[in-house]
Amino acid sequence: MAGLKTIKTKIRSIEKTQTVTKAMEAVSASKMRKAQQKALAGRAYARAAVSILSRVSGSRELANHPLVRGAERLFSEASPLLPAAGENNFSASRALYIVITSDKGLAGALNSAVLRKVHADSMFSGLAQEKVSIIAVGRKANDFFVARGFAVESYHPNTDVLTPEFVAQLVDEAASAFNTGAVDVVKIAYQNFVSTFEQRPTLRTIFPLSLDELQQVVSDIVPARGVFAPIPPSGRDLDQKVSTYSLEPSEVEVLDAILPRLASIFVYHALLEAQASEHSARMVSMKSASDKAGEMEHDLTLQFNKARQAAITREVSEITGGMEAMAA
């Protein structure tokens, strides 16, 4: 009977675990939908930002702005941000990475994929460890880079509440490092939400600011498949450049005001995509855990029934043997 009691205890333990994993799956599913809806709600603003940057792309002041200068050397193709792009002979000697991971685990390989992406990019760029700086958003990123001796400039917990102040703080930190020449390039790494079962580790360049990168961020907001799949744009949604324009009060003042806000598009939507990816990965992971718990419960139930049947058979045999001995 001790064996039966042990098996029954295991079954109850697995049932309790399955209850927890199912609850976590439901919570993650709800949070995933909310995060994706927030990203979609901000897509109109992101498209407007692309349109603004496209319209002022012919400005000489824009090409010479501190947040844009160097873009023509950083990207291999001629950027529409600048009228004439040079050859891709730019090699960053110092880089700053904004790495977005989660604070919690139980999300499969979600965080490790982003961390590997950053490490591989720094190695591919030929950057020594002391030439790489990190702004960690999420405990997993902070723990990873601190343990490996990287310079973590700042650490921010990754919560579900995204405030304009938090986004502005991240952009200001990155812009300050880029403007002062402390780094040559600022990149952001996060998980891009492709679908419920697919998240893609993504690396984008924030500074120098590029229209190509911003357009790619906008296109990534809508997943390729599922209920949030894109609708073909109408003629009014397409960006149109103008050949002449005027900026008031001055080009410098206008660009100083709008470029940090345009850069915040990168950070804001990267945080939203990372949130949706985190909750999606955790939902899938918890569903797998629940299914596996169900399989283990089924196997243990069969084992319990076999053991119980064997015990009953043994007791019946003992009773029968005792009765026969008394009759003899």
Residue 179, token pair as written in the block: 């403007």
Q: With a cut of 60, say whether residue 282 has pLDDT above it.
A: yes
Query: 322 CB contacts (<8 Å, ≥6 apart)?
Result: none
For position 286, what pLDDT does the model report? Answer: 87
Residue at 38: amino acid letter? K
Q: Count the Cβ atoms, other than its own, within 10 Å of residue 279.
A: 26
For position 77, what pLDDT does the model report? Answer: 42
| Proportion of the chain above pLDDT 70, given as a percent | 80
- Among residues 244, 305, 80, which one has the least CA distance to residue 68? 80
Distances (CA, A) of 121 to 109, 124, 187: 18, 5, 10
For position 144, what pLDDT does the model report? Answer: 92
Q: Which residue has the higher pLDDT, 268 or 70?
A: 268
Task: Give the relative orientation of helices 139-147 and 110-124 as an angle to the nearest 10 degrees.
Answer: 40
Q: How far apart are CA 317 and CA 89, in angstroms?
A: 88
Q: How far apart are CA 173 and CA 263, in angstroms?
A: 12
Q: What is the mean pLDDT of residues 88-92?
A: 50
Query: 118 CB contacts (<8 Å, ≥6 apart)?
Result: 97, 99, 189, 203
pTM of the full structure = 0.74
Q: How far apart are CA 127 and CA 33, in angstroms?
A: 38
For position 30, what pLDDT does the model report? Answer: 86
- Express each pLDDT in 184-196 by its tens digit: 899 999 988 887 7
Q: What is the mean pLDDT of residues 247-255?
A: 70
For position 133, what pLDDT does the model report? Answer: 92
Q: Report residue 67's pLDDT band, with 50, 70 and 90 as the boundaries.
A: confident
**Residue ranges of domains in the chain, CATH in brackets:** 2-24+285-327 (1.10.287.80), 25-282 (3.40.1380.10)
- Express each pLDDT in 149-177 by its tens digit: 899 999 999 887 888 899 989 999 998 88
For position 276, what pLDDT does the model report? Answer: 84
Q: What is the mean pLDDT of residues 35-55?
A: 75
Residue 219, token pair as written in the block: 């296109």
For position 6, what pLDDT does the model report? Answer: 86
Q: Contact 269/39 with Cβ under 8 angstroms? A: yes
**Cα 115 vs. chain centroid, distance in angstroms?**
11
